[in-house]
Amino acid sequence: MIQWRLYVGRADNVNDMGSAPGKDSGRARVDSATSVSGPVVSLEGVKKSFGVGTLVETEVLHGIDIKLEKGEFASLIGPSGSGKSTLLNIIGLLDRPTSGKLFINGQDAAALDDAAITRLRGRTIGFIFQAHYLLSAFTALENVMMPILLERSRPDDAMRDTAKELLEKVGLTKWQDNLSANMSGGQQQRVAIARALALKPSLVLADEPTGNLDTQATKSVFNLMREISASSGTTFLLVTHNLNLARQCDRTIELLDGRVEANQKSSLGKQGTAGTDFVADSH
Ligand code: ADP
Ligand code: MG
């Protein structure tokens, strides 16, 4: 499953990435996730076209300027087809802009070849999707260990301890040995959150992570992400159709027809969460 290979950060090649200019660019140093000051994400005039060079070339992002600071918890909203997923894929280094600049932790993505992009993505970015993509034949703990295992290739106690700590953080210690297939939707999404955090990313990108959840589980999963962001300084960008959630983020970016229609700090800001204690509630 290609998506799994991508979001654990170990895809050997990324066919849709195209090639970066410059033969030696792959040797550009990739800084670790935490060593850089300045914005975690910076886009300058980013455009994206599909079908370039064909009769059906279509520009779907028309010049996007966005900055996300360390620890910022931002939402991305906009109608279906406005370009949210395309933008998330670009920020997540799963696709390249057609033009414009993209910096992740100060790294100019255009200067990196595909192998370096894959390394940067693996070290820096965690992904959470609407569908959790857990491996159903594995336990919660094994699912959380998976990205670390792929990164380090040999299981060890430290890896298991890290995964246990992450499951504790998402309130699932009691369920760590359950097969993921036997967990509720909210619990599965919590496991997916723990897995996204396994390699200590500085940025988590979440594409409608609560889209399949009921109201209670939505609150609980949202609060959990908010809490993790606040306690670890992880930057989050959350695509959501839920305006109630968007209002509770630090910043709301609204896309309309491939343009940033609004980009403002939320009035509710850091004031808090959707009202449910995340540890006690394990929906
Ligand atoms: P959203 O996530 O906001 O619903 P998308 O980013 O999925 O929007 O899509 C934005 C626009 O780009 C849509 O018109 C969609 O049809 C188009 N699009 C997305 N991916 C592709 C692709 N791979 N090839 C051609 N068009 C695409
Ligand atoms: Mg989408």
pLDDT tens across the length of the chain (283 residues): 333 333 333 333 333 343 344 333 433 444 444 445 799 999 999 999 999 999 999 999 999 999 999 999 999 999 999 999 999 999 999 999 999 999 999 999 999 999 999 999 999 999 998 887 899 999 999 999 999 888 877 778 888 999 999 999 999 999 999 999 999 999 999 999 999 999 999 999 999 999 888 899 899 889 999 999 999 999 999 999 999 999 999 999 999 999 999 999 976 555 444 443 323 233 4
Asked if 254 contacts 263 with a C-beta cutoff of 8 angstroms, the reply is yes
Report the separation in Å between the CA atom of 81 and the middle of ligand 2, taken as the mean of its atom positions. 7
The pLDDT value given to residue 213: 87
Alpha carbons 68 and 80: distance in angstroms, whole number: 23
Strand order in the sheet with 99-104: 58-68, 41-50, 99-104, 107-108
Q: Measured from the CA of 83, which atom of ligand 1 is nearest?
A: 6
User: Among 46, 50, 240, which is best to mutate for testing ligand 1, by the most ligand atoms less than 8 A from CB?
Assistant: 50
Closest by Cα among 206, 19, 231 to 131? 206
Q: DSSP label at 30?
A: -
Supply the residue whose CA is at minimum distance from atom 26 of ligand 1: 50
Cα(213) to ligand 1 centroid in Å equals 24
Protein residue closest via CA to atom 7 of ligand 1: 85
Where does ligand 1 bind, in terms of residues with CB under 6 Å?
50, 60, 78, 80-86
CA–centroid distance, residue 210 to ligand 1 (Å): 21
List Cβ neighbours of 128 (8 Å cut-off, separation of 6 or more). 189, 192, 193, 196, 204, 205, 206, 207, 209
If you measure from the C-alpha of residue 100 to the centroid of ligand 2, how many angstroms do you get, rounded to a whole number? 21
Question: Global pTM?
Answer: 0.83
Compute the distance between CA of residue 230 and CA of residue 223 in angstroms, rounded to an integer: 10
pLDDT of residue 155: 76
Determine the Cα–Cα distance for residues 200 and 276; give it in Å rounded to an integer: 25
| pLDDT of amino acid 36 | 53
**Most informative mutation of 17, 54, 55, 86 for ligand 1 (most atoms within 8 A of CB):** 86
pLDDT attached to residue 25? 40
Side-chain-facing half-sphere of 277: CA atoms under 13 Å: 2
pLDDT of res. 15: 36
pLDDT at position 174 is 96
196 sits in which H/E element: helix 185-196
